[in-house]
């Protein structure tokens, strides 16, 4: 199954860092796809998406870092996706997929943008 990493009602976003945790006894990451095309909110300003991602199934973590360059204006506004994480089941049961407090948004001046809400998800693996 897949989970999209979404931004909702953001303003002047230049860079995104999303750090996810999950129960590695229940879930494993197969792939992270950082959107570099029109599916990415960070393409809304016509810029180039600069992607980076990594995951550690033993630790139960996945990190997505993405920025935009050469866009006009440099930051983007709106609601949309930036990446997709593909998981597979390791065993049955419930698992929480959550954002850590290390997750962050930055504006074009590299200043933190306050995150008002991080939405977690619970998946039931059968």
The CATH number of whichever domain residue 15 belongs to comes to 2.60.40.680
Compute the distance between CA of residue 32 and CA of residue 57 in angstroms, rounded to an integer.
12
Mean pLDDT of 12-16: 96
Domain region containing 76: 2-125
**Which residue, 64, 46, 44, is CA-closest to 54?**
64
The set of residues, in sequence order, having a beta carbon less than 8 Å from that of 56 and lying 6+ positions away, is 62
Mean pLDDT of 14-39: 97
Inter-residue contact 20 to 62 (CB < 8 Å): yes
Domain count within the chain? 1
Compute the distance between CA of residue 19 and CA of residue 41 in angstroms, rounded to an integer.
18
Residue 82 CA, distance from chain mean position: 6
Q: What is the pTM of this model?
A: 0.92
DSSP bridge partners of 112: 106
Reported as a single tens digit per residue, the pLDDT across 67-122 is 999 888 889 999 999 999 999 999 999 999 999 999 999 999 999 999 988 999 99
Over the chain, what is the mean pLDDT? 95
Percent of the chain scoring above 90 in pLDDT = 87
């Amino acid at each position: 199954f897949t989970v999209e990493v979404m931004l909702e009602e953001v303003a002047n976003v230049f860079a995104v860092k999303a750090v996810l945790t999950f129960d590695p006894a229940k879930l494993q990451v197969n792939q992270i796809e950082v959107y570099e095309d029109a599916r990415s909110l960070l393409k809304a300003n016509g810029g180039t998406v600069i992607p980076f991602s990594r995951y550690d199934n033993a630790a139960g973590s996945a990190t997505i870092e993405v920025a935009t360059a050469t866009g006009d204006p440099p930051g983007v506004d709106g609601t949309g996706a930036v990446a997709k994480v593909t998981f597979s089941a390791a065993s049955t049961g419930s698992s929480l997929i959550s954002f850590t407090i290390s997750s962050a948004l930055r504006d074009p001046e590299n200043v933190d943008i306050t995150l008002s809400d991080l939405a977690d998800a619970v998946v039931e693996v059968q």
